[in-house]
Structure 1
Amino acid sequence: MSSRNDDEMMSSDYKLVQKLPYDLTRPVAEMAAFFDILPHSDGAALLTVAADADSCVAVWQAADGTRTVSRPFTVLQDVRGEWVRCTKLAVLDVLARVSGREAALPWGILTGVRPGKLAHKLLDGGLNGAALPQYLQRHYLLPAKQAQLLTEICLLQRRLLPAAEKQFGIYIGIPFCPTRCSYCSFPSGIVPREEELQQKFLNFIEQDILAVVQLISMYKLNATAVYIGGGTPTSLSETAFARLIGLAARHLLLPGVREFTVEAGRPDCFSVEKLKVMEAYGVNRISVNPQTLHDKTLQAIGRSHTVRDFYQAYELVRHSSIKTVNTDLIIGLPGETAADVRASLDGIRALAPDNLTVHTLTLKKSAPLFGAQLSSLTAEEAEALVAYGGETAAAMGMLPYYLYRQHYMLGNLANIGYAASGSASLYNIQMMEERHTVLGIGPASATKVPQADGHHLKKLNMPKDIGTYTGNLPQLAHKRSLLFADEEE
């Protein structure tokens, strides 16, 4: 083993050699990225990951031929997930030895979008909830706080929505917004002004809804939640919006449905008339999302409303019959300081919504500002603000109930949803943890059907492009129905 533990041995790229039962190119790359090195077919250094009896080891060979070997990591079970775990640990170990520094791992070796899926899998396998935090720390390098948070969320989810209950959620995607936010990567377009175009689009949504009604009847599915999102559904005209809510209510509000949610996140397309429609058709959850309580930021990100508009929309909902109100904030928006974010969180606390979701800025490749150095926050400041968001939620009597992560996320942190007692969104749990069936309607929606083993899915993503969706709807609906073909009636 080499004794030269300094950055001089590191290369900006490496060539990967695998001697493993599975192709683990991506997990290796994810760990190497923590040390700012990338895979390359002509890399100056050689990184070998190999099986050694019942263990996994990694070897780094520098350009000068110097070799550094990781500790062996025992594979507890001969399955892909366990090889992924041990490979990640071996790569981290060898690169730490070579560089002389430890990687910053806010979520340990968990790099996926849904860390809760692992926690649920471990609990399903018989691991005691009290032992889960320590297990996650030891085997996945999660910091103690994150391990405890993930455990608490998963245990709460299992009480709110047991996997054994064959309940499912319905999602209707409306891919329109009044304007495009500069940080946004959702597959949304500017809503067409012509009423005729909106109504033509809803003709296809109606066809899609009726196809889903047939599926529900055929397989005797038990609907729990209906969620209309996007995009911004309220960007439709008054007439088109009323038609949309009416279609959903008439066809999908089955006897078992406990929540009917509408994403009304943009105050610039909110109105008293649309609120009355939602009340009339039984909507009982609504999101009104400022993202920030600073007008300068709203202008910078391309929103065509003010903070005052948000307050007015929020008050309208609070005085309506709609019981549960959610608000979202984003940490890391362009130009915002830590003090700005704290002020927004304090402002939301004064309003006392039922739900609060604290997002960390994520710029995907489809976002207009992808690649730009926008946030003035350091990773450490962002982490402290996520913690402050948790403190703010706790002060309002809320508990964290769902969590997900994204690539290109500031500080490699997480988005966390908090809810007051009795107000957690069942749909959010269904969608994020993928332990219950979700039926997707509309462009960019996803239908997910968990399999009997509890850990695999059958899935169909509707096309993001509206023309592709509308031009192929009968075929797409048929493909969706095939996901249920081997389900018991």
Structure 2
Amino acid sequence: MIEIVCKETLYAYDAYHIVKSFFPEAEITQKIKEEQEPLVSVEIEGGSSFCVCRKDGEKSKTETKASVGKELYHQLEKIKGQGLPWGILTGVRPTKLVMGELEKGKKDQEAATWMEERFLVSEEKAGLSVEIAKREKQLLEQLDYKNGYSLYVGIPFCPSICAYCSFSSSPIALWEDKTDRYLEALLKELAFVARVSGEKVLDTVYVGGGTPTTLRADQLDRLLTQLETSFDYSTVKEVTVEAGRPDSITEEKLEVLQRHHVTRISVNPQTMQQKTLDLVGRKHTVEAVEEVFLKARSLGFDNINMDLIAGLPGEDAKDMEETLKRVEALRPDSLTIHSLAIKRAAKYGQNPIRQIDAAEMTKMIDLGETYARKMDLVPYYLYRQKNMAGNFENVGYAKVDKAGIYNILIMEEKQSIVACGAGASTKLVLPEPMEGKGGKKVGIVRVENVKNILEYIDRIDEMIERKEEWLWR
């Protein structure tokens, strides 16, 4: 048990997440006590207690808040005997921060040093952030942000639900008699978006979920046909379909994707350890992953992504290396290395598991990078999540000409992404910031669809009205 007491709410968010990063499995309580003198006090049951006080010369609340975060970090670093790779950084988009500094005119080393000094990020992670931000900047300069947008299409069904997954997804077996109704509602929403977006430039299309390939081949054909006929594909640089679960993929479905000029697919094992696949509820074999990947190659798919998760329960660095060797034999065009992040909505969030120790996690992440670079894949996007094992990150690696443009756009928030489907969240980048609550300027507006599948079907007209209120105003 750890208790955090803050003098003001200003310090509460950062204090909680910095402590949680050092003690990921601890139960943490938090309260505000305005009458206390220290800005933050921390009491660790059976361990150390310490306080963080205001320093002389601090002129603003922002300055004080940054100072409190650093002092809190240094105290915890002493207690644990080691630091964290991302220091006090609690945000999910480190490269967005770095890109902002590069756009201000900072040189590479200046931007890296700023990350190290401002957020106590390690030299290695600061360097990785700069490398990726530069690559992202080069790719994004090819797009027309003002007139462009991307389209996300959500299919909220999976063959089964993985124990670590927190996405809005349901087992397809429970919904097979309603998937046509879902598709009808989705196509209606897509038709509206196409109708009002005629003067905009469509850059990328991403069909995700869930697992889109849980749809029947004829349903996939119907969806992709409407996308091609309703939207102007002449400017589209990338069409991605997540075919993530091999137990949802057939040769017929792959042929449908090929026929509709899908340029990028994902075949995602998460691990090539059968014991782990069984444990987390993925009802397929390692061999099935390899068979589907090779079948997709034989049909001509030349941009195939694979996802892996480091830190899955029961695995260590040896398991990770065995997985990477099998992936290396397949030679994917891109590879995303995720650090396990458990959220409350996941099965593991309801029944917590013991997380892997930081030293072993470091080995796994390092192995991921080593093997990716051996396959001539370079890092091109990066993001973080709360409650990540070892305070690490997710990194996408790709061949130089096979980077996933949509992945960069969703992280850097430089272009509007219109999202359709149950649980889909549209992010509109406004031409000019508007005044939000409390007079704060807002540059991005989110328009949410309901998560419940039946509600989405029944309330599709309302979902369209929500978009109509904000889209391209």
Q: Same fold (TM over 0.5)?
A: yes
- Out of 449, 459, 483, the position equivalent to 2:428 is 449
Q: CA RMSD in A?
A: 2.9
- Out of 464, 484, 487, the position equivalent to 2:451 is 464
State the partner residue of 1:31: 18
Deviation, 1:484, is 3.5
Q: Distance in 2 between matches of 1:479 and 1:90?
A: 44
Do the aligned partners of residues 141 and 73 (structure 1) sit closer, same or farther apart at CA in structure 2, a change above 3 Å counting? farther
State the partner residue of 2:117: 138
Q: Distance in 1 between matches of 2:385 and 2:65?
A: 19
Deviation, 1:364, is 0.9
Deviation, 1:323, is 2.2
Instruction: Report the more deviating stretch, 363-372 or 166-175.
Output: 363-372
User: Which residue identity lines up with residue 419 of structure 1 in the other structure?
Assistant: A
State the partner residue of 1:52: none
Between Structure 1 and Structure 2, the one with more helix by share is 2
Q: What SS is found at the alignment partner of 2:347?
A: coil
- Out of 474, 481, 487, the position equivalent to 2:461 is 474
Within a 5 Å distance, the mapping from 1:95-174 to structure 2 comes to: 95-96=75-76, 104-162=83-141, 165-166=145-146, 167-174=148-155
Q: What SS is found at the alignment partner of 1:333?
A: coil
Contiguous gaps of at least 5 residues in structure 2? 434-441
Q: What SS is found at the alignment partner of 1:113?
A: coil
Q: What SS is found at the alignment partner of 1:168?
A: strand
CA deviation profile, 1:96-149 (whole Å, cap 9, x unmatched): 59x756663220111122222222222233323331111111111000000000
Do the aligned partners of residues 381 and 468 (structure 1) sit closer, same or farther apart at CA in structure 2, a change above 3 Å counting? same
Count of residue pairs brought into register by the alignment: 456
State the partner residue of 2:383: 404
State the partner residue of 1:350: 329
Q: Distance in 1 between matches of 2:56 and 2:167?
A: 40
Residue 181 of structure 2 corresponds to residue 191 of structure 1: no
State the partner residue of 1:72: 55
Deviation, 1:248, is 2.1
Q: Distance in 2 between matches of 1:183 and 1:153?
A: 27
User: Which residue identity lines up with residue 451 of structure 2 in the other structure?
Assistant: K
Q: Distance in 2 between matches of 1:320 and 1:305?
A: 22
- TM-score, length of structure 2 as denominator length: 0.88
Residue 2 of structure 2 corresponds to residue 12 of structure 1: yes
User: Which residue identity lines up with residue 389 of structure 2 in the other structure?
Assistant: L
Do the aligned partners of residues 334 and 92 (structure 1) sit closer, same or farther apart at CA in structure 2, a change above 3 Å counting? closer
State the partner residue of 1:279: 258
User: Which residue identity lines up with residue 7 of structure 2 in the other structure?
Assistant: V
State the partner residue of 1:91: 72
Contiguous gaps of at least 5 residues in structure 1? 1-10, 50-57
Q: Distance in 2 between matches of 1:79 and 1:252?
A: 48
Q: What SS is found at the alignment partner of 1:48?
A: coil
Conserved 8 A contact 2:290-2:330: no
Do the aligned partners of residues 61 and 174 (structure 1) sit closer, same or farther apart at CA in structure 2, a change above 3 Å counting? closer
Q: What SS is found at the alignment partner of 1:40?
A: strand
Q: Distance in 2 between matches of 1:194 and 1:26?
A: 39
Within a 5 Å distance, the mapping from 1:423-434 to structure 2 comes to: 423-434=402-413
User: Which residue identity lines up with residue 156 of structure 2 in the other structure?
Assistant: P
State the partner residue of 1:299: 278
Conserved 8 A contact 1:335-1:376: no
Instruction: Report the more deviating stretch, 477-486 or 204-213.
Output: 477-486
Q: Distance in 2 between matches of 1:234 and 1:427?
A: 19
Residue 317 of structure 2 corresponds to residue 327 of structure 1: no
Conserved 8 A contact 1:262-1:283: yes
Conserved 8 A contact 1:451-1:457: yes
CA deviation profile, 1:273-323 (whole Å, cap 9, x unmatched): 101111111101000111111222111111121111111100111112322
Q: Distance in 1 between matches of 2:135 and 2:57?
A: 32
Residue 294 of structure 2 corresponds to residue 315 of structure 1: yes
CA deviation profile, 1:437-487 (whole Å, cap 9, x unmatched): 11101012111122346883111122211122222222222222333454x
Q: What SS is found at the alignment partner of 1:123?
A: helix
User: Which residue identity lines up with residue 26 of structure 1 in the other structure?
Assistant: Y
CA deviation profile, 1:239-281 (whole Å, cap 9, x unmatched): 2222122222222352110111100000001001101111111
Q: Percent identity?
A: 31
User: Which residue identity lines up with residue 483 of structure 1 in the other structure?
Assistant: W
Residue 217 of structure 2 corresponds to residue 238 of structure 1: yes
Q: Distance in 2 between matches of 1:428 and 1:160?
A: 11
Within a 5 Å distance, the mapping from 1:199-214 to structure 2 comes to: 199-214=180-195
- TM-score, length of structure 1 as denominator length: 0.85
Do the aligned partners of residues 376 and 105 (structure 1) sit closer, same or farther apart at CA in structure 2, a change above 3 Å counting? closer
CA deviation profile, 1:316-352 (whole Å, cap 9, x unmatched): 1111232200011111222222211110011111111
State the partner residue of 1:368: 347
State the partner residue of 1:437: 416
Q: Distance in 2 between matches of 1:164 and 1:125?
A: 20
Q: Distance in 1 between matches of 2:454 and 2:340?
A: 30
